[in-house]
Every structure is written in structure tokens, then in C-alpha cells.
Structure 1
């Protein structure tokens, strides 16, 4: 998040247009700024400063003052506008970080950009890990708030989140919000791309369109492992699907678990469902007595399905996050 973007966020806050996550982000920053104060002000000094602060705010961001806003936040905003933003950036060498400071003031928000040609890894305050792709930027507070762990992403990153049921991890990517308690997932959100993509590896992820109205979430889905969602920026459509190459989520207890001998088709599909956490549906009673014999261990899912379908005279297709089997079945 650069100076211009943060100025926009502050203006939204003062106009009462922020989402709950954005409100928490600004107020956490305000608390960090307030903790740096060296001495308290008297009542008369506070009143005098309040008048001066609102005059400065109106001149800077061009909005009308709201007297119910906390003085501490107003002071923090003016400090930010006056002192500028500190940010960090990676150099090409993955072993080093170069700190670039516009001002000596540490107001608690870090802006990291990967300028190298390799994926860069970082560990956040809560122990969560992020793998940031080249030409991508992540913004996050040095200290997370009491209710959420909120970060902002431009570009692509893989997140492995430390589980904390009391404090959800929230990733803002343009108009899309991804919220988790503890899981691993990838987000692709490039400015010039027509869509935002979220792919889940483990756990469960809530993905929804950002809305100005508080306590309102519209146009959202819940994703589980091997599922993904594509958010089309222009149409505002959220399209759930499966990842291109599903991987086994629950490893077989025994190496022979995916070796079948005269196993009913429903049993084979149930085993695949347990391994990949993907739903399968049979569309015809013609497969009721179909059986499968074969070893499909250590094969990609689509290869496994091709072998099973060939044996029972079936075809399959993916519709959303479910795989359907259809055909004439066994004779």
C-alpha cells in the first residue's frame, strides 16, 4: 500500500465508507501511533490541537470534519500525512531486505514488494508464512489487531496460515476478500488481469465480494481442498471450480488402498472422494452393478478417472466443484 492508496483509505474511513476489516486496519494503525506519544496533553491543549488537526485534514484530504471521530485518530492521520509512509522492498538477492524509509517515523504498516525473479518467503508476527511471487506486493501491520489479522495483496502469493479460531486471517485483493482461520491457499490478483483466482490446498476458505455495507456479505462461496474460485472483475461473478491438477489430501493408510479387485463403482468413487475431498455423482442406474479391477495408486486424478471410466463404459465431466459420471454403463 503506497501513500496515495493509504490516503484514500483514510478518506474512506472519515467518510464512514470502510469495511469492518478496513476499520480495524486503520484503528490498529492509530493505536500504534498513539503508543508512540511521549507525554499526554492537557484538556485545553487537546481542544486547541483538535481545531488545528481538523483544519489540516480538510486542507489535505478535502473532507468535512466529523466531531465524533477520536482525537487520537485525527492526530495519527495528520502525523501520517505530514511524515509520510515507511515501506520495505526486496532486492534481487533473496537473502537480504533493503529498508527504504521515507520518514523516520515507524507507524506500524509494512509494504513489501518482491523485485527479484524468485519466490520470496516471509513469516508474519503470528507465525503464518507467505511465499510472495515476483512482481507482487503484500501490505500488513507489524502487530495484528485484536479481532482480525488483515493483509493486502497485489499479485500472487501462497499463504500457510497459523490457526487461530479467535482471530480470522483476512486477505484483501481488490474487490475480493478471502477469510480463513488456519489453512493453506494461493491467491492470484494482478492489476492487469481480468479475474482474481483463489486456490485452496488445505483447510476451508471463505471468499466473498467486498461490500460497503457492514455485516453484509454478498456473492460469496466456501472453498475446500482442491477447489478454486475465479472472480471476474467486470461482471462481478464468482465461479467455483476444481484446480487443474487435484492432489491427494488424505494419504492412503496402506500402499494398497487404491488397488481394487471387483470393487463396485460406488466404492471406488468413495475412496477417491476420501483421498481428494472431491464429490462424485453417478447420473445413471446403469452403473449399479459395475465393478472395477485395477491398481491406480500414484496416478494423477484424471488418469485414474480415465481408467475407471474405460472399465465401466462411462465418461465424466466437471461441473463446478463436482465430477459427474454418465454413459451407457455395464451390460
Structure 2
């Protein structure tokens, strides 16, 4: 359940239309907020936060004589609707400040301090290091890179923090998105394989996709802020400029055939119409190829393009039909005078 879905659920519940199952989800969300925080808090401190929070909510609502909302709950609290609404207003950072011995922590501190239970792996060798996470996800960590993650993932999200470069083969879980944090850029998936390159001394972060779909967006301070981001599919990538915050989509350097393409790929063409040839490339690599000049429809290709990379295939095709190709974002555009 993402933030938008939760907000809708809360609105429904506050209007008195929620059922027992939805009430349970709201309680679990409240517990999950503290369980998955990245601030150094032990179980006693987290319980103290909740007790002090509910006390403050009671004193400012029911305790001041406002109308009480009855909730049938085994937890013995009759102010759930007030409480959850207050949680949204106060925000997680303010909840942390309820503990006096934590009052010196800032919001920035909360985002960067790792939990005591976090695991950090650094690859100082000269080769890749393979890590298998508890959910079945496999991470291939490149040299001079590090990754940190909680000992146990939360129920609704799976967050990891990367410095450097890693290839992820994520175990699919529709209920818990897998989220890779790299500075100001977030990469979110349900189950797929992709590569993230984010070295501290680099001016940009790069995310490229091998399979599935990946959502890449800029981290914002508020969940309600409009996100600067894109959806990537196989053989696509984005480059995020750390300084300008600009996200530039593109195509990976060496596109590979999609896993769902035909088992044996035959790139031998005999007097084959150009549109048919280009459609074959599109089907195999999953990349849009657009002909800008309809005169090119009359061209035919006779060639053996097996065992050649996509860029070379396109170069040879265009030379044959007096055309040229250009990459724009995540697509190729073919133009030229055509065959006469």
C-alpha cells in the first residue's frame, strides 16, 4: 500500500465507511512507521513514543471534551480516528521529537542514521560480490561499493541503501515494493532486474533495466510533492544529474534480446520490406523504432545481421536504404530520402 492508497483509506475510515479489515490496516501502518524508521531507537523507546503520542492526542481532543468516536478494538483505545489523523499532521519526524533524549536529532539526521540492526556490506575485492537478501532478492555488488539494509524488511516496503554500483535481481512481491535509495534518486520495483550506478565522486546516477518495469524518481521532502521521474522498461536507462536534478532517459549501450523473445532469433533477411525488418528489431529488443519518412516503406533489405549488436544492425540497414538513424530518449528515429 503506497502513500496515496493509504490517504484514500484514511479518508474513507474517517467518514465512517471503513470495515474491520481496513481498521486493522491502519493500525498496522501506525506500527510499521516506527518499526521501519532509520533512527536509533530500541523497542522501549518506540513504545514510549507511541504512549506519549496517544496521551498528547487524547489531551488535545477527547480530553478537552470534544465528541468521542467509538472504535471496537482490542487495543482499548477509543480515539483511533483522531490519532491517525494526528499522525499524518505531525509526521514521523515530529513523533521522534516526543522523546526528550532524542530532541537534538533533525529530520536530516533521521534520514541518514542507520538502525542498530542494519546490515552493511562493503565490497573491497577486485571482483563482484553476490549477496542474497532474506526475501530472495539477489544483489551483485560491484567493487568499491557498499549496500546497507535492515535485518528484516518491513511488511509494506523493502528498503536498501546503495553507494557505488550493483545489479539487482528482485524477488517479486506485489505487496512490498523493493526500493533502492541512492542519494536524491529512488528506484522502485515489485520484481525485476536492473543495475544502479551511484558513486559518490560521480556527477550523475545511472539506472538501467534488464527485465520488468522500474519506476525511477527524485526523492522529495513531502510525499505529496510531484515527483520528477520516469518508468523504465528493458534496455532503457536514465541518467540523473546530481547538480541540476535533471533526469535524462536513454537506451543502454548494448541492448540485449528480451527474455520473452523467440528462442532462436534469426536476423537473415531476403528482400524483406524495411518496415518488417524494423518491427523484428522492435519485437526482439523492446525498443521503439519510428520511420519519419513514409517513402522508406518502399525499401527492402537483403542481409545477414545475426550476431551483431543492435546499433551495428541499424547502421547497416540505414546504409543499405540510403537512410540514417538517430536516438532520441528511449526511441530510435529513422529518416532519409528512401529507395528510388
TM normalised by structure 2 equals 0.69
1:206 and 2:215 correspond: yes
Give the structure with the larger strand fraction. Answer: 1
Instruction: Give 2:101's match in structure 1, choosing from 40, 45, 56.
Output: 56
Correspondence for 2:245: 236
Q: 1:247 to 1:254 in 2, by over 3 A?
A: closer
1:143 and 2:188 correspond: no
Q: 1:215 to 1:291 in 2, by over 3 A?
A: same
Instruction: Give 1:117's match in structure 2, choosing from 105, 123, 126.
Output: 126
- Residues 32, 108 of structure 1: 8 Å contact kept: no
1:302 and 2:311 correspond: yes
Distance 2:269 2:38 in 1: 61
- Residues 197, 230 of structure 1: 8 Å contact kept: yes
- Runs of 5+ unmatched residues, structure 2: 1-30, 56-97
Distance 1:166 1:62 in 2: 31
- Measured on the aligned residues, the alpha-carbon RMSD in Å equals 3.2
Task: Write the deviation string for residues 152-194 of structure 1: whole angstroms up to 9, x where unpaired.
Answer: 1111111010111111100000000000011111111111111
Matched pairs, number: 262
Offset at residue 272 of structure 1 (A):
0.3
Instruction: Give 1:265's match in structure 2, choosing from 274, 281, 287.
Output: 274
1:175 and 2:184 correspond: yes
Instruction: Give 1:27's match in structure 2, choosing from 21, 31, 35.
Output: 35
1:166 and 2:189 correspond: no
Offset at residue 258 of structure 1 (A):
1.8
Distance 2:279 2:225 in 1: 37
Give the structure with the larger helix fraction. Answer: 2
Distance 1:208 1:305 in 2: 31
Task: Write the deviation string for residues 10-59 of structure 1: whole angstroms up to 9, x where unpaired.
Answer: xxxxxxxxxxxxx967532589976699xx9xx9xxx9xxxxx833223x
- Residues 167, 181 of structure 1: 8 Å contact kept: yes
Correspondence for 1:247: 256
- Runs of 5+ unmatched residues, structure 1: 1-22, 48-52, 64-76, 78-83, 87-106
